[in-house]
Structure 1
């Protein structure tokens, strides 16, 4: 039973990795932006949590405040992000998307729409709902195990 489970998980991981790698190559080919993985993670966080403050980004990314500040400064210089003084707390700087950041996510939305039309639309709605349920369930298990430190090696 254990061997069957291990083989099944290896195959699931391989298919997931291969599919994600292929889709990532397609997305990269359609994006003209030359962003590093850390820049992309920060940009994604700001996009979904804007406006946010640097300390929130630091917590999410797990890097030092100075490293995050340097990346934010570069993204600000390249017009992906902007910093403003929080009108409710003048000692706090909030970060949000700038013009190029907005364009980046408009383009991402168009690419996602293309992927839906060319790939996901070939599956039945029932299959997609089942896939969603299973991935969400696995995600919840992973989060719970990480929260309780169960995935750390002894």
Structure 2
């Protein structure tokens, strides 16, 4: 049974890697921002959460506040984010997208539309829904294991 999971996970990883290679030409503008995978993930997380703090990011990613601080400093240097002092707690800052961060997120959204038009729309929507639900289930399982 474990060997079946190992085989399927290996195929999944290979498919994800191949997808990244095949779509790399479409994502070339995104690559021009020279962000690490972690920086991209944190930037996307900031875009989805208004008035988020470094503490909340650290908690969401299950990494130290120091590690988050290092990433945020690099993103701030690249004008991807800006920090605004929380008026109700001067020791805390809200993290927001800056000019380049907004451009990055806009490019990601444009890339999604392009991928939908060129590829995703050629596959039945029910398959995408099933894939999404499976990922949500897996994410929920991982979150529950981390809180045990």
TM range (shorter): 0.7 to 0.9
CA shift for structure 1 position 14: 5.2
Alignment-derived partner of residue 145 in structure 1: 141
Higher relative CO (Cα under 8 Å, sequence separation at least 6) belongs to 2
Gap runs ≥5 in structure 2: none
Using a 3 Å threshold, how does the CA distance of structure 1 residues 85 and 133 change in structure 2: closer, same or farther?
same
* Aligned residues of 1:80 and 1:100 also touching (Cα < 8 A): yes
Deviations 1:67-109 (A, max 9, x none): 2112111111211000011123333211000011001111111
Bigger radius of gyration, 1 or 2?
1
Please say which of residues 131-140 and 77-86 is displaced more in the overlay.
131-140
Matched, 1:122 2:118: no
Using a 3 Å threshold, how does the CA distance of structure 1 residues 122 and 136 change in structure 2: closer, same or farther?
closer
Alignment-derived partner of residue 12 in structure 2: 13
Using a 3 Å threshold, how does the CA distance of structure 1 residues 88 and 134 change in structure 2: closer, same or farther?
same
> What TM-score results when the alignment is normalised by the length of structure 1?
0.77
Gap runs ≥5 in structure 1: none
Mapping for residues 1-154 of structure 1, pairs under 5 Å? 9=8, 13=12, 16-22=15-21, 25-31=24-30, 32-123=32-123, 127-128=124-125, 130-149=126-145
* Aligned residues of 1:85 and 1:94 also touching (Cα < 8 A): yes
> What TM-score results when the alignment is normalised by the length of structure 2?
0.80
CA shift for structure 1 position 8: 7.8
Residues of 2 paired with 1:53 and 1:77: CA distance? 18
Residues of 2 paired with 1:14 and 1:36: CA distance? 19
Deviations 1:112-153 (A, max 9, x none): 111111112323xxx11x113311331243134324439xxx
Alignment root-mean-square deviation, CA = 2.8
